[in-house]
Amino acid sequence: MTNPTAKPSLIQQRMTLTRTRNFAVFITAVMAFQFLTNILQLVWETDRVSWHWFGVVVFTLLTAAGVVTIVKAIRAIRSFEAENGRDAGRQRPVGDR
């Protein structure tokens, strides 16, 4: 039986940190795309302008939150590597030994 208080392995820790970073990059890209879409709608459409401004504000905030999450994730990965070594938790393909 596994110990529920045991620390995850280095591979699991790196996978968690990498997943967090990758998800933040994806979300930031989607939010930036939505931001640009709202900007273009502001330029091209003359009706419902208030909704487009609302979208610009919301997606600006969400893009900024994504960037902050990316920075935090990169710092966490650097901290993990400083504590455990640069290649700690990295998996290599079977043929690369």
Give per-residue pLDDT as tens, 33-60. Answer: 999 999 998 888 877 778 888 989 999 9
- Tens-digit pLDDT profile for residues 1-33: 567 778 899 999 999 999 999 999 999 999 999
Tokens of 91: 């998996």
Distances (CA, A) of 76 to 70, 83, 85: 10, 10, 13
pLDDT, averaged across the chain: 90
Global pTM reads 0.81
| pLDDT at site 2 | 65
pLDDT digits (tens, 9 = 90+) for 55-69: 899 999 999 999 999
DSSP 8-state assignment for residue 7: P
What is residue 96's predicted lDDT score, i.e. its pLDDT? 66
For helices 10-44 and 49-84, the axis angle rounded to 10 degrees is 160
